[in-house]
């Protein structure tokens, strides 16, 4: 702790990967809110595209998963501590301010479009992962003779196939 202002000191390089990248594929330039936040946290791991867990820096808990982070489509960072630390306490403990959880307002139109495009692709990949898992489970149930709980399993399979086609079309044109 920094005796002067009560903030936790930020350990340089905390959260960096062995190849110099930051969690989430970002480089150390802190060009996005998520890269600036993740670089200052310990025990960061991505649980799905755009969502991470880490150790909350605002309290002395032992859990490595006490903090949940998510990046919205516009680049805003959502933080939730399962020990009830406030967002203000969390950002202050890593040397940031609440305004650092929001995208820069000085981005030009092309930069905002690119950021939104990347966010849509991340969301599409998440849907793709989920629907492929549904199809894999349906396939395993058919192959192994397991019961399928869904009231209309064929309709659910058709829905999953349709969603996979839509996502692939959105990603690859």
The pLDDT tens digits for 48-97 are 888 999 999 999 888 889 999 998 877 889 999 999 999 999 999 999 99
Question: Do 60 and 90 reside in the same domain of the chain?
Answer: yes
What pLDDT sits at residue 53? 95
Determine the structural domain holding residue 88 and report its residue range: 23-101
What pLDDT sits at residue 115? 74
In a domain, 11, yes or no: no
Residue 75 is classified by DSSP as S
Mean pLDDT across 139-146 = 89
In a domain, 16, yes or no: no
Domain boundary among 40, 68, 101: 101
Which pLDDT tens digit goes with each residue over 86-134?
999 999 999 999 999 988 777 788 877 887 777 777 778 878 888 999 8
Question: Do 51 and 82 reside in the same domain of the chain?
Answer: yes
End-to-end CA distance of the chain: 51
Q: Would you call 106 exposed, middle or buried from its count of C-beta atoms within 10 A (0-12, 13-18, 19+)? A: exposed
In a domain, 2, yes or no: no
Whether the per-residue pLDDT at 3 is higher than 90: the answer is no
**Separation between Cα atoms, residue 164 and residue 19, nearest integer Å:** 33
Domain boundary among 101, 120, 138: 101
In a domain, 113, yes or no: yes
Q: Would you call 122 exposed, middle or buried from its count of C-beta atoms within 10 A (0-12, 13-18, 19+)? A: middle
What pLDDT sits at residue 117? 78
**Separation between Cα atoms, residue 48 and residue 70, nearest integer Å:** 10
Q: How many helices (H) and strands (E) does the chain have?
A: 4, 4
What pLDDT sits at residue 31? 65
Whether the per-residue pLDDT at 167 is higher than 90: the answer is no
Q: Is the dihedral of CA 49, 55, 57, 61 positive or negative?
A: positive
In a domain, 14, yes or no: no
In a domain, 6, yes or no: no
Question: Do 134 and 64 reside in the same domain of the chain?
Answer: no
In a domain, 10, yes or no: no
**Separation between Cα atoms, residue 11 and residue 38, nearest integer Å:** 12
**Separation between Cα atoms, residue 92 and residue 117, nearest integer Å:** 30
Q: How many domains does the chain have?
A: 2
Strands (E), the chain: 42-48, 51-55, 67-71, 77-81
Question: Do 27 and 74 reside in the same domain of the chain?
Answer: yes
Mean pLDDT across 27-47 = 79
Question: Do 142 and 88 reside in the same domain of the chain?
Answer: no
What pLDDT sits at residue 59? 93
Helical (H) or strand (E) element with 87: helix 87-93
What pLDDT sits at residue 14? 39
Question: Do 97 and 116 reside in the same domain of the chain?
Answer: no
More confident residue, 28 or 73: 73
In a domain, 133, yes or no: yes
More confident residue, 81 or 12: 81
Question: Do 89 and 45 reside in the same domain of the chain?
Answer: yes
Whether the per-residue pLDDT at 28 is higher than 50: the answer is no
**Separation between Cα atoms, residue 92 and residue 8, nearest integer Å:** 8
């Amino acid at each position: 702790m920094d005796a002067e202002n009560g903030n936790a000191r930020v350990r340089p390089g905390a959260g960096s990967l062995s190849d110099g990248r930051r969690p989430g594929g970002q480089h150390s330039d802190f060009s996005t809110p998520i890269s600036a936040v993740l670089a200052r946290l310990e025990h960061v791991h991505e649980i799905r595209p755009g969502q991470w867990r880490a150790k909350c820096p605002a309290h002395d808990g032992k859990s490595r998963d006490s903090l949940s982070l998510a990046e919205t489509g516009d680049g805003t960072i959502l933080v939730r501590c399962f020990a009830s630390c406030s967002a203000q306490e969390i950002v202050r403990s890593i040397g940031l301010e609440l305004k650092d959880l929001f995208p820069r307002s000085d981005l030009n139109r092309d930069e905002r479009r690119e950021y939104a495009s990347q966010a849509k692709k991340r969301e599409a990949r998440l849907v793709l992962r989920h629907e492929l898992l549904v199809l894999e489970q349906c396939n395993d149930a058919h192959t192994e003779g397991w019961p399928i709980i869904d009231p209309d399993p064929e309709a659910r399979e058709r829905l999953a196939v349709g969603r996979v086609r839509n996502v692939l079309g959105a990603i690859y044109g």
